[in-house]
Chains A and B, each alone.
Chain A
């Protein structure tokens, strides 16, 4: 019994090491005062971080990524909210097929999605730039947002909405006074995760940005020059920290009140 537990522990540790050790090299080398990512470390410095702050191209790319991420997360969460509500609340014909259709971008290889969008966008005679990137990201983020919101809305006691109607509120009043506050943790979680997905996304951006680089594009461009590598490492370390915090926040929000909810909301059966 003891033996078995040890084996399991070692396996678990190896698994986590495999997941996180490579990622941890980034922050490690970002404080090293050499230009190469190799051991032994030569000395501690924060100059890569200072350098990072002085690059105006980087600022432009960061700003582009934030703009795309904010718009993509808001639009995809809104679309996903309506769809998730319909899936959770009603039974309708073609439910499974439309669910599958919405989840499809999940499964289509991203590069195929990117190439098709590029072809269509150019065929329509539009210019490449942040607009098609944003549209691509909306498409790509919506399934993630759906998964999060369906998890939140499923098991939601819809008699609460009926109670609100019964107490004199119209459909809009009910949405803002009852549904929205109760869905809110799920909505925020969806916004945060969609933002992160968009913020990290490379393939769609690579095909569709044209000259306005997003942050992953900028990083990729910098990688070609050895002397520019260290400040990309610094940037990468900062992004890892922020992404981790946001993902943790999103998961915490998604689960907020979920345990309490199960005990509290009864099952509602209509004849």
Chain B
């Protein structure tokens, strides 16, 4: 497989004084499910539209399979897009929608019929050929949009928040289906979403974007376990931030003073400098232990539960402690809100679960 199938080279896109995409470089592998993840306005959709050819970069170069596509119009690119609102042509039926993009490919009539038939069975829409967009549900429209793009056998399929308009149940189903579809046909997918759970569950790799820049590009489990900065740590999953400052480096570890808890040796994976106040410690709610009794973990704090929310598979506790300024969130699969007398509890933290991050 070609690891530099799509090369995004120092790409910038400015709209007036706004830098929607700000000098971004990375590569997308052939056949991978790649996600661009970020809050709205982070530049992910602009980047996708640059790949589709609906926008042209202010600076930089785009290569697809070794060919410079930077200034090619959308109709000359081997990419196809699934639009956020599906953009099904309302004046023609499903079959004609799917055939729309085949006209210019110079296929025989038999080949066109075969391709349409195959793609309809791929997206499980057989029997819907004569329907119009207004006669389809949201999920069905999405399948038409997928079929219409895939029937052209693009090298890359671009998806712009395609699941955003679906209800939760259907969205979960479509996530699994999209993923297995991508495995089946082996086409490179570039998927834009603001939903971190969606990106994490579907993708081979995820690029987290903010303010026009890539904050981190890695496999989903890496994003969660080893966030490179405070933005990623905050955006992916849920976390607690503790005030901290660094002291002297000691081998792989660095001495860190955390709020009123004291000084600890924490692994310095990100090579954070000594004697810095611009750092925070992050700890996930599920990495801590909440209990009715004290433990012998590295840190054990006495606390009062201020609020709980019961989520079925687990319960979240919002706990106030004497030492920490902010209320911290702890989750537990073991205890629920009935378990604690007078809301008294003990929270235990292991140093391995604390990650040290730069503030900026």
Given contacts A163-B89, A168-B104, A168-B105, A268 and B84 within 8 Å (CB-CB): yes
| B149 partner residues in chain A, CB cutoff 8 A | 166-167
User: Could you pull out 9 A-B pairs where Cβ atoms are within 8 angstroms?
Assistant: A159-B84, A162-B81, A165-B75, A166-B52, A166-B74, A166-B101, A167-B101, A264-B133, A271-B43
A164 within 8 A of B: yes
With a cutoff of 8 Å between Cβ atoms, the chain A residues found around residue B87 in the complex are 157, 159-160, 162-163
Question: How many A-B residue contacts, CB cutoff 8 Å?
Answer: 92
Residues in B neighbouring A177, C-beta threshold 8 A: 100
The interface residues of chain A lying within 8 Å CB-to-CB of B45 are 270-271
**Closest partner residue, chain A, to B40 (CB atom):** A271
CB pair A167–B83 under 8 Å, yes or no, is no
The DSSP consensus for interface residues of chain B is mixed
A260 at the interface (CB under 8 A from B): yes
- A residues within 8 A CB of B133? 264
The yes or no answer to B188 lying at the interface (CB within 8 A) is no
Q: Are B73 and A178 in contact (CB under 8 A)?
A: no
Residue contact B90 to A163, C-beta cutoff 8 Å: no
Complex-state Cα separation, A160 to B42, whole angstroms: 24
Query: Measured between alpha carbons, how far is A267 from B46 in the docked complex, in Å?
Result: 17
Residue numbers in A under 8 Å from B74 (CB-CB): 162, 165-166
Q: Judging by beta carbons under 8 Å apart, are A260 and B75 in contact?
A: no
Q: Which residues of A contact B79 (CB under 8 A)?
A: 166
Chain B residues with CB under 8 Å of A271's CB are 20, 40-46
Additional 16 contacts, C-beta under 8 A, given A166-B81, A169-B103, A267-B85: A162-B83, A163-B81, A163-B89, A165-B73, A165-B75, A166-B101, A167-B80, A167-B101, A168-B105, A169-B100, A169-B101, A169-B104, A170-B73, A261-B90, A271-B20, A271-B46
A100: CB under 8 A from chain B?
no
Size bin of chain B's contact surface: 35 or more
Instruction: Give complex CA distance A166, B80 in Å.
Output: 6
Let me know if A181 is at the binding interface, CB within 8 A: yes
- Tell me, yes or no, whether A265 is within 8 Å of chain B by CB: yes
Q: Which residues of A contact B49 (CB under 8 A)?
A: 270
B91 and A157 contacting across the interface, CB-CB below 8 Å: no
Per-position binary interface string of chain A over residues 62-94, scored 1 when its CB falls under 8 Å from any chain B CB and 0 otherwise: 000000000000000000000000000000000
Residues of A contacting B100 with CB < 8 Å?
164, 167, 169, 177
**Interface-centre pick from B41, B43, B87, B89 (highest chain A CB count, 10 A):** B87
A→B interface (CB under 8 Å): 157, 159-160, 162-170, 173, 177-178, 181-182, 257, 260-261, 263-271
Are B81 and A168 in contact (CB-based, < 8 A)?
no
In the complex the two chains form, is B83's CB within 8 Å of A159's CB? yes
Cβ of A181: which chain B residues have Cβ within 8 Å of it? Answer: 91
CA distance A267 to B165 in the complex (A): 11
Chain A residues with Cβ below 8 Å from B52 are 162, 166
Q: In the assembly, what is the distance between CA of A260 and CA of B84, in Å?
A: 19
Q: Complex Cα distance A191/B17, Å? A: 42
Contacts of B84 in A (CB 8 A): 159, 266, 268-269
Distance in Å: Cβ of B358 to nearest Cβ of chain A: 27
Q: Are A168 and B41 in contact (CB under 8 A)?
A: no
Q: Is the CB of A266 within 8 A of B54?
A: no
Interface mask (B149-180 → A, CB under 8 Å = 1, otherwise 0):
10010000000000001000000000000000
A263 to B135, CA, bound (A): 12
B85, A159: Cβ atoms under 8 Å? yes
A177 to B105, CA, bound (A): 16
Q: What B residues does A160 contact at CB under 8 A?
A: 87, 89-90
Name the residue on A nearest B154 (C-beta): A166
Interface residue? B148 (CB, 8 A): yes
Chain A residue contacts of B90, Cβ below 8 A = 160, 182, 257, 261, 264-265
CB of A201, distance to nearest CB on chain B (Å): 34
- The answer to whether A168 and B103 touch across the interface, beta carbons within 8 angstroms, is yes
Assess A167 versus B165: contact at CB under 8 Å? Given A159-B87, A264-B134.
Answer: no
A270: chain B residues at CB < 8 Å are 45-46, 49
Nearest residue (CB) in A for B42 is: A271
* Best-buried of A162, A163, A164, A261 by chain B (most CB within 10 Å): A163
CA distance A165 to B149 in the complex (A): 12
